[in-house]
Amino acid sequence: MKASDYIVEFLIKNHITDVFGYPGGMVTHLMDSLGAHSDRIKTHITYHEQAAAFAACGYSQASGKVGIAFATSGPGATNLLTGIGHAFFDSVPCIFITGQVNAYESKGDSDIRQRGFQETDIVSMAKPVTKAAFYVNEVGKLEETLKEAFTIALSGRKGPVLIDIPMNVFRSDINAGSPGKVDPVKIKYIDVSERLESDLKEALKEAKRPCLLLGNGLKIAGQIDNIRGILRSCPIPVVSSMLAVDIIPEGQGLEGLYYGFVGAYGNRTANFAVAKCDLLICMGSRLDVRQVGGVRENFAPDAEIIRIDIDEAELANRIRDDEKQYNIDLEEAISVLRNVLARCGDFTEWIDVCKEIKKQVKYIDEKEPNKFINEISRIVPDEYNITVDVGQNMVWCAQSFKMKPNQRMYFSGGMGSMGYALPAAIGVYYATGKPVICVAGDGGFQMNIQELQFLVREQIPVKIFVINNQSLGMIRHFQEMYFDSNYFFTVEDKGYTVPDFVKIAEAYGISARYIYGVDDIDSIRFDKNRPELYQVTLRDDTIVSPKLEFGKPNQDQEPLLDRALYKYLMEL
Supply the pLDDT for residue 184: 85
Supply the pLDDT for residue 185: 84
Fill in the DSSP letter of residue 550. T
pLDDT in tens, 154-205: 999 999 999 999 999 999 999 888 888 998 887 777 778 899 999 999 999 9
3-class state of residue 31 by DSSP: helix
Compute φ and ψ for 134, nearest 5 degrees: -120, 140
Q: If we measure between CA atoms, which residue out of 482, 487, 439, 431 comes closest to residue 463?
A: 439
Mean pLDDT of 557-569: 96
Domain limits, CATH 3.40.50.970, in the chain: 3-170, 368-537
Q: What CA–CA distance (Å, rounded) separates 441 from 469?
A: 8
Q: What CA–CA distance (Å, rounded) separates 45 from 173?
A: 26
Percent of the chain with pLDDT over 70: 100
DSSP secondary structure of 490-511: TSGGGT-----HHHHHHHHT-E
Percent of the chain with pLDDT over 90: 88
Q: What CA–CA distance (Å, rounded) separates 356 from 362?
A: 10
Strands of the sheet containing 42-45, edge to edge, are 42-45, 18-21, 67-71, 94-100, 160-166, 132-135
Across 78-87, 187-196, 338-347, 515-524, which has the greatest mean pLDDT? 78-87
Supply the pLDDT for residue 334: 94
3-class state of residue 164 by DSSP: strand
Mean pLDDT of the chain: 95
CATH superfamily for domain 3-170:
Thiamin diphosphate (ThDP)-binding fold, Pyr/PP domains (3.40.50.970)
Q: Which residue has the higher pLDDT, 96 or 365?
A: 96
Compute φ and ψ for 483, nearest 5 degrees: -130, 35
- The answer to whether 488 touches 494, Cβ cutoff 8 Å, is yes
- Is residue 272 predicted with pLDDT exceeding 90? yes
Supply the pLDDT for residue 342: 84
Q: What CA–CA distance (Å, rounded) separates 20 from 71?
A: 9
Q: Which residues of 51-83 are buried (b: 16+ CB within 10 A; e: fewer)?
A: bbbbbbbbbbbbbebbbbbbbbbbebbbbbbbb
- The answer to whether 221 touches 330, Cβ cutoff 8 Å, is yes
Domain limits, CATH 3.40.50.1220, in the chain: 193-361
Q: Is the four-CA dihedral 109, 110, 111, 115 of positive or negative sign?
A: negative
Mean pLDDT of 458-483: 95
Please provide the CATH number assigned to the domain covering 368-537.
Answer: 3.40.50.970
**pTM for the full predicted model:** 0.96
Instruction: Say which amino acid occupies 262.
Output: V
Q: What CATH architecture does domain 193-361 belong to?
A: 3-Layer(aba) Sandwich (3.40)
3-class state of residue 277 by DSSP: coil
Supply the pLDDT for residue 418: 98
- Is residue 370 predicted with pLDDT exceeding 90? yes
Supply the pLDDT for residue 253: 76
Supply the pLDDT for residue 204: 93
Supply the pLDDT for residue 343: 81
